[in-house]
Structure 1
Amino acid sequence: MKDKEGVKKKSARKVEKSGVKREKGIFLDTAIINANVITVDENMSRAEAVGILNGRIVAVGSNEEIESMVGSNTKVIDAKGKTVVPGFHDSHMHPLLVGHFARGVQLTDVKDIPEMLERIKEKVKETPKGEMILGFGWNQERMAEKRYPTRWEVDTVAPDHPVFLIHWNAHIYLINTVLMKQKGITRDTPDPPGGTIVKNEKGEPTGVLLENAIDLIAPGFLETGAGLFSYEQSKAALKYCADKAAEWGLTSIVDILAGDAQVKAYQELEAEGNLPVRVNFYLGFQYLDYLIKLGIKSGFGSSKVRLAGAKMIVDGSLSSHTAALREPYTDMPDSKGVMRLTPEEIRAFVENATKNGIRVDIHALGDGAIETVLKIFRETMNKYKVKDPRFKISHCIIHGPDLIEQFREMNVIANVQPVFVMKGQHWIPRLVGPQREKYAHPYRSMMEAGIHMCSGTDAPIETMNPIMNIYAAAVRKDAQGIPEGGWHPEQCVPVEHALKMVTIEGAYATGEEHVKGSIEVGKYADLVILTDDPLAVEPDKIKDIRVLLTMVGGEVVHSKME
């Protein structure tokens, strides 16, 4: 059956196909009608309406077919021609930091150091003396001075408060003198393994810490908050993030680096009915032995809160020159970046997790780190003959044709952040030079190789708006539409594929493609209604699309429908 535009429509499938008997007097709980439904099934089929019962999709088809299942107690949502897509997935984010940073000093858009200091000064005015001031988002690459700020500069506006300022990439940290003294850091403090205490020409710490040096201030900060916050504060931060996620149309999020506080809080929020979205979490690799001892494997949990696997960070970030490259940085020829862990440590983690049924996600930005991880993946596959390990690498920014081929051969998942292109385009050329930048965020090359790519935002590093991931993958421009024509447009992917990256590919990455990620009979009723069709508008206009309604398991968790 085709509509007047020649688009195939699915006939409604019978309720029995989802295991729910269509007995006399049993009708739909919810019907969405008069919609432009993009199912994201294998054929990218279209439909007019969706039927929902007991939290699952039980019919997809025409208005007439779905309306025949409507009873007196059925909630009918008239989409009024708006577009319905599967609920969005964010495959890589840090919910704890999203919540905590929302209460701190916002530095993501500061243009220079004086503006940064002014914002800290305003926070000082409202903060009791001696209390911690947390800030997030500063980025020397986007500031006029093009250098790191120093503790002495921060001291001028915050002489009596400990100040902890996290860089945009969360791999660089700035502290003031008060906090430095509290933590006992002096000119004689040695660099920790995999980290650097930046010092000036006189050997004095400047207040800037790189990578593992954060452990001198807040060990485990990314996972647990490192004691800087109470459990109740952290639980509230997670609730804040989950609520915001629902507003953005996210029905599933991945907490990519969780600790015990998050696991406890997510379960409590679910039990209290205060968790509007589904959460998969990866525990830091330090928890691996505990998981193995308890016999817990990936997939353990409920339909709402679920263990996805274990996470390890093996290198740093490009903007801090700590991503591990195969060849030196173009603008820093004496450095290839930093490997935070040895190959032996990485291998032990991957092997122990894999043979015990725990899937892994490894942070590797640079081609040097990616090469090391892929070698270990191959050795592990050959040694243990695991049928479907679904190895995953997060970020994988600087690539090469040989690495892409290895992804393809081993079916390694690329957990990518298209939103990084929006800012990274401004400094990647200087860092790696013209040849390597051709394979920076090489999404088209990876797509054509048949590599599974799921999209995440790494929030709070970037906005958690999944529509911006679709936009950035499809046009490779920043939010202002720069550059005209896109940055390396040969690596743009079709909008259809960008949509899959935030829906069905996200479900595949956590091993849940059989229950979510597309609008098909039997799957969770996780849906989003949008103001416009991302496959129909001009690609440059995708960023302007807004979420009107978010549904998780048949329940409306956010709505701006009239």
Structure 2
Amino acid sequence: MPQLILHNANIHTLDESRPHATAITIDGDRISAVGDDQIVLEAAPSDATTMDMRGSTIVPGLADAHGHMRNFGMMAEMVNLRHAQSYEEVVELVRERSQATPVGQWIQGRGWNQENWSDKSLPTHDLLSEAVPNHPVWLVRVDAHAGVANANALRISGIPGSTLNPAGGIVGKDKDQPNGLFLDKAMDLVRSHIPDITVEKSKELLLAAQELCLAVGLTQVHDAGIDGTTLQAYRELVAEGSLKIRVYAMLARDYFDQTDVSQIQEGLFSCRSVKIVSDGALGSRGAALLAPYSDAPYESGFMLLSRDDFDATVGRALASGFQVNTHAIGDMANRVSLDVLEAALRKHGVSDHRSRIEHAQHLHMDDIPRFSKLGVIASIQPTHCTSDMFMADSRLGPQRTPGAYPWRKFLDSGARIVSGSDFPVESNNPLWGLYSALTRQNHDGQPSDGWRPEERLTLYEALRSFTRDAAYASFQEHELGSLSLGMLADLTVLDTDIANEPPQALLEAKVMATVVNGEIVYKHNLTPSL
């Protein structure tokens, strides 16, 4: 294959030895030259293909360090509830779907958020059951930590009034009868009765998600919490040559605990980590807090697993050479997660463990320096901050919000941060994530000075968290993350010079091309002269 030379470009390399260039040579799957047009073009072999990029901006391939590929692919088949402004609107959307769905077939939806409704109460099944009586219905909150089932789904799931709360979950009840609301681990009581997704269907969903991710410039996704079916689907896609985006997979804890594991590296797919979910989410008040919620003084959230089980999984992971990536949102969950990691690291003596806390949303001030001390990476989602900031004010109150989404405090304490989106909870567009990291504002520019603006990141810090630090967090920093000689050729091509435009330009910037392993796997309005 002849070399491909992209020149007359605006290249931000994220390589301190050469932060900017105008030309780059791709030889197979590697970068073989980076520099100025004249030097790179003069050294080009006669059979090289050259592309005049006409000033387009090129950055290292952007990685989303926390997404959910199969769930993202499923969104097109579910009822999208993200924009519903009331529970009545949610019910109407489901009722409309039921008219085109065979009687008795499950209807699933995702994305409702009671914080966007005038009545911010968590929903129950009565209205839904009345409107849609002939289909089992399961509707998941935007953060996937709460769900509501209609009466038909309750009947199929066999959930009587005597059903007890499982460890790490709550079965909502009114007058001692299930009201259709399920939080965290209790959601399994319904989900276990929904037909399983096959390997072939999983492949279809992963490919759908792949196209959506490549289109926004993502070259890699850290897929957070996959089961055995999804793992098999990925391996078959690799064997078929269909996987075009890099995937760094985290095995779901339930699957990891029941399986003999070993590290996997096959083509663009790698797996050497486990995801543990330690608590719920702020939106459903399942995030485990050290003190009660400010807007619900009798609730403090809850942990989703016992300390013994937590210790056992972390110990087995470290002993097996697996990275430990723990979902922790509340300050109690973050503290316990750090305690477990500290004890396990002392016991197993692993130096280069690169354990991660996924989300790390709300911390007690005393725990922030422990990330750097223990070598734990804070895996953040900038758009969570700008989606949840006003809710966080209500949930946490003014005394605790200084520890919410504390990105600057992490960096100042010496910790490393890595960024993602948690799609489909948020948009998978990494440019929107960069905007949130730089501004801590919503897309309307509010608050005008940013929410807790002292925690904002610089463009370099934010871009690094989507590139170089994402590579470090997946043990790939010697291959990915910067546009340097010898690195794998993963690039994102943009129509906007994001370094020299105001942050608002990130919201309108378009991806012109996505390059993975030296192959142009997505292009849009890319008409450079050859």
2:408 aligned to 444, 463, 486, which one? 444
TM-score when normalising by structure 1: 0.91
Q: Give me the whole-angstrom Cα distance separating, in 1, the residues matched to 2:360 and 2:34.
A: 37
Measured at CA, do residues 304 and 418 of structure 1 come closer, stay the same or move farther in structure 2, by a change above 3 Å? same
Measured at CA, do residues 282 and 557 of structure 1 come closer, stay the same or move farther in structure 2, by a change above 3 Å? same
User: Residue 512 of structure 1 aligns with which residue?
Assistant: 476
2:180 aligned to 207, 217, 221, which one? 207
CA contact under 8 A between 1:326 and 1:336: conserved in structure 2?
yes
Measured at CA, do residues 66 and 44 of structure 1 come closer, stay the same or move farther in structure 2, by a change above 3 Å? closer
Shift of 1:30: 0.8
1:52 aligned to 21, 26, 30, which one? 26
User: Residue 68 of structure 2 aligns with which residue?
Assistant: 94
Can you list the C-alpha shifts for 1:30-70, whole angstroms capped at 9, x where unaligned? 11101110001235710001001121001100111221243
Q: Which moved more, 1:540-549 or 1:92-101?
A: 540-549
Residue 259, structure 1, aligned to residue 223, structure 2: no
Can you list the C-alpha shifts for 1:447-496, whole angstroms capped at 9, x where unaligned? 22221111111110000111111110110011222111111111111111
Q: Give me the whole-angstrom Cα distance separating, in 1, the residues matched to 2:18 and 2:59.
A: 11
- Within 5 Å, give how 1:301-340 maps onto structure 2: 301-340=265-304
CA contact under 8 A between 2:278 and 2:333: conserved in structure 1?
yes
Residue 185, structure 1, aligned to residue 153, structure 2: no
What amino acid is aligned across from residue 457 of structure 1 in structure 2?
Answer: S
Q: RMSD of aligned C-alpha atoms?
A: 1.5
Q: Give me the whole-angstrom Cα distance separating, in 1, the residues matched to 2:97 and 2:241.
A: 34
User: Residue 191 of structure 2 aligns with which residue?
Assistant: 218
Shift of 1:258: 0.4
Measured at CA, do residues 502 and 384 of structure 1 come closer, stay the same or move farther in structure 2, by a change above 3 Å? same
Q: Give me the whole-angstrom Cα distance separating, in 1, the residues matched to 2:323 and 2:485.
A: 28
- SS of 1:438's equivalent in the other structure is helix
User: Residue 151 of structure 1 aligns with which residue?
Assistant: 125
Residue 487, structure 1, aligned to residue 425, structure 2: no
- SS of 1:91's equivalent in the other structure is strand
Q: Give me the whole-angstrom Cα distance separating, in 2, the residues matched to 1:436 and 1:534.
A: 34
Q: Give me the whole-angstrom Cα distance separating, in 2, the residues matched to 1:306 and 1:252.
A: 11
- SS of 1:205's equivalent in the other structure is strand
1:355 aligned to 301, 319, 330, which one? 319
User: Residue 97 of structure 2 aligns with which residue?
Assistant: 123
Q: Aligned residue pairs: how many? A: 526
Can you list the C-alpha shifts for 1:294-345, whole angstroms capped at 9, x where unaligned? 5x13xx2124011031111010001111111111111112222110111121
What amino acid is aligned across from residue 219 of structure 2 in structure 1?
Answer: T
Shift of 1:387: 1.6
User: Residue 431 of structure 2 aligns with which residue?
Assistant: 467
User: Residue 274 of structure 1 aligns with which residue?
Assistant: 242
Measured at CA, do residues 506 and 276 of structure 1 come closer, stay the same or move farther in structure 2, by a change above 3 Å? same
What amino acid is aligned across from residue 102 of structure 2 in structure 1?
Answer: P
Residue 420, structure 1, aligned to residue 384, structure 2: yes
Shift of 1:506: 0.7
CA contact under 8 A between 2:381 and 2:421: conserved in structure 1?
yes
CA contact under 8 A between 1:33 and 1:50: conserved in structure 2?
yes
Shift of 1:193: 1.3
CA contact under 8 A between 1:194 and 1:211: conserved in structure 2?
yes
CA contact under 8 A between 1:101 and 1:134: conserved in structure 2?
no
Q: Which moved more, 1:240-249 or 1:537-546?
A: 537-546
Q: Which moved more, 1:69-78 or 1:107-116?
A: 69-78
Q: Give me the whole-angstrom Cα distance separating, in 2, the residues matched to 1:229 and 1:349.
A: 26
CA contact under 8 A between 2:392 and 2:401: conserved in structure 1?
yes
CA contact under 8 A between 1:414 and 1:451: conserved in structure 2?
yes
2:466 aligned to 498, 502, 526, which one? 502
Q: Give me the whole-angstrom Cα distance separating, in 2, the residues matched to 1:73 and 1:105.
A: 51
1:198 aligned to 159, 162, 172, which one? 172
Q: Give me the whole-angstrom Cα distance separating, in 2, the residues matched to 1:227 and 1:304.
A: 30
Shift of 1:171: 0.2
Residue 400, structure 1, aligned to residue 364, structure 2: yes
- Within 5 Å, give how 1:511-530 maps onto structure 2: 511-530=475-494
- Within 5 Å, give how 1:157-168 maps onto structure 2: 157-168=131-142
Residue 285, structure 1, aligned to residue 253, structure 2: yes
Can you list the C-alpha shifts for 1:520-557, whole angstroms capped at 9, x where unaligned? 11111000111112221112322221111000011000
Shift of 1:72: 4.7
1:136 aligned to 91, 102, 110, which one? 110
User: Residue 41 of structure 1 aligns with which residue?
Assistant: 15
Can you list the C-alpha shifts for 1:82-130, whole angstroms capped at 9, x where unaligned? 1100011011111111111221111101111222122112211211111
CA contact under 8 A between 2:238 and 2:266: conserved in structure 1?
no
CA contact under 8 A between 2:199 and 2:232: conserved in structure 1?
no
User: Residue 250 of structure 1 aligns with which residue?
Assistant: 218
CA contact under 8 A between 1:55 and 1:524: conserved in structure 2?
yes
Q: Give me the whole-angstrom Cα distance separating, in 2, the residues matched to 1:111 and 1:183.
A: 29
Q: Give me the whole-angstrom Cα distance separating, in 2, the residues matched to 1:63 and 1:52.
A: 14
Residue 240, structure 1, aligned to residue 225, structure 2: no
Q: Give me the whole-angstrom Cα distance separating, in 2, the residues matched to 1:408 and 1:213.
A: 35
Q: Give me the whole-angstrom Cα distance separating, in 2, the residues matched to 1:176 and 1:330.
A: 31
What amino acid is aligned across from residue 463 of structure 2 in structure 1?
Answer: L
What amino acid is aligned across from residue 344 of structure 2 in structure 1?
Answer: T
What amino acid is aligned across from residue 462 of structure 2 in structure 1?
Answer: A
Residue 169, structure 1, aligned to residue 143, structure 2: yes
- SS of 1:280's equivalent in the other structure is strand
User: Residue 18 of structure 1 aligns with which residue?
Assistant: none
What amino acid is aligned across from residue 211 of structure 1 in structure 2?
Answer: D
2:84 aligned to 96, 101, 110, which one? 110
Can you list the C-alpha shifts for 1:416-450, whole angstroms capped at 9, x where unaligned? 11010121112111111101112210111112222
- SS of 1:76's equivalent in the other structure is strand
User: Residue 198 of structure 2 aligns with which residue?
Assistant: 230
Shift of 1:71: 3.8
Q: Percent identity?
A: 33
Q: Give me the whole-angstrom Cα distance separating, in 1, the residues matched to 2:509 and 2:461.
A: 17
Q: Give me the whole-angstrom Cα distance separating, in 1, the residues matched to 2:196 and 2:341.
A: 36
CA contact under 8 A between 1:87 and 1:503: conserved in structure 2?
yes
- SS of 2:191's equivalent in the other structure is coil
What amino acid is aligned across from residue 81 of structure 1 in structure 2?
Answer: G
